[in-house]
Amino acid sequence: VSSVAHALEDIERLIGAPIETAWVGINGTQVLFQESRGAVAVAKQDGEISGEDVLRVVESAQTITSPLNFEVLHVLPKSYCVDGQTGIKDPVGMTGVRLEADAQIIFGSTPHVKNIMKAVYRTGIDVDDLVLGVLAVSDVVLTQKQKELGVVVADIGGETTTVAVYEEGHMIHIGIVPIGADHITNDLALGLQTDIDIAERVKITYGECSPKGFTKKDIIDLAEFGAEGERVSKKFVAEIINARVAEIFEKINDELMQIDRRALLPAGIVFTGGGAKLHGLVEMAKKYMGMNAGHGYPLHL
């Protein structure tokens, strides 16, 4: 509750307006994904498909048994099928007898959802709705053209990296990698034999993904961060970071291999989240993942 309250204070100071309601993002490993298919008969006598038919078919796709202690967060229609004709994006106005929908159902752990809601409500904020974090991020940083061509969003958080893959305008895969920026900080704390807070500040100030280009003269004096007179080489710090970032990329590639899209997405990979601020991340991704890479920035805001 205190963390949320502090964040709200910072935001209100930045924007100069009070916040009364919010959309709450949910992330982490307490999220499950499942494919589903729904089918309905078209209601009108003349067989013309209406918006109500589309709502009904999406609802029917949702009628699957939720895993124990999980609740539905989102139902994302991927494509529609009218009387056997597949791959339709918007069936409204078409004529047919049977309408089917392929959808992706996203579930959130019920205790996890309740605890998040409780923490936000206790700060005096009204919650408009819950949204999967990477879904909201993708809508803000991707263009429709990128979603059509094929693109992957990697949201590097503290504990996890969430991956969302889009193709032909729809999300086709979501994966959660249980490694994030905090693991890089932990590696630095162990490697430099220093305090976790000092390791975090070293990462933010001198963090570099590639150990190339450093000489023996490139030294970091940990005294400037409050450590007692210790000196470490920048190359050693970069080597520690490089190893963990390579592991994150490897896990993202594993997610892409599950759907046969490794190095096959024309719009490349878009990085967001606090962990994406590491210097040299984009250059390393281009070499390691074999496709275009860049940072995601809010569009139209």
Reported as a single tens digit per residue, the pLDDT across 85-119 is 998 989 999 999 999 999 989 999 999 999 999 99
Rounded to 5 degrees, φ, ψ at 161 are -120, 120
CA distance 33 to 72: 10
Burial 181-192 (b: 16+ CB within 10 A, else e): bbbbbebbbebb
| Mean pLDDT in residue range 29-34 | 85
Give yes or no for a contact between 123 and 4, defined as CB atoms under 8 angstroms apart: yes
Q: Is 80 exceeded by the pLDDT of residue 28?
A: no
Q: How far is CA 195 from CA 183, 213, 277, in A?
A: 14, 27, 22
pLDDT at 230 over 90: no
How is residue 85 written in tokens?
């004709």
Q: Tell me what the mean pLDDT of segment 142-169 comes to.
A: 94
Helix axes 234-258, 181-191, angle to 10 degrees: 150
pLDDT at 174 over 80: yes
As a whole number, the mean pLDDT across the chain is: 92
What does the alpha-carbon distance between residue 58 and residue 7 come to, in Å, rounded to a whole number?
Answer: 36
CA–CA separation, 189 and 211 (whole Å): 18
What's the pLDDT score for residue 181?
96
- Mean of pLDDT values over 234-259: 95
* 229: pLDDT strictly greater than 80: no
> What's the pLDDT score for residue 152?
97
Confidence of residue 250 (pLDDT cuts 50, 70, 90): very high
Q: Is the pLDDT of residue 281 over 90?
A: yes
DSSP code of residue 259: T
Nearest one of 288, 6, 238 to 119, comparing CA atoms:
6
- Residue 27's pLDDT band (boundaries 50, 70, 90)? confident
Give the Cα separation of 81 and 2 in Å (integer): 49
Distance of alpha carbon 61 from alpha carbon 44, whole angstroms: 20
The alpha-helical segments, DSSP class H, found in 95-211 are 110-121, 133-141, 144-149, 181-191, 196-206
Distance (Å, whole) CA 279 – CA 162: 20
Q: What is the rounded average pLDDT of the residues 50-71?
A: 91
| Stretch 61-69: mean pLDDT | 88
Q: Which of 74-78, 149-153, 197-201 has the lowest mean pLDDT?
A: 74-78
Q: Which residues are within 8 A (CB) of 84 and not within 5 positions of it... i.e. 6 or more apart?
A: none
CB 42 within 8 A of CB 75: no
* Amino acid identity at 25: G
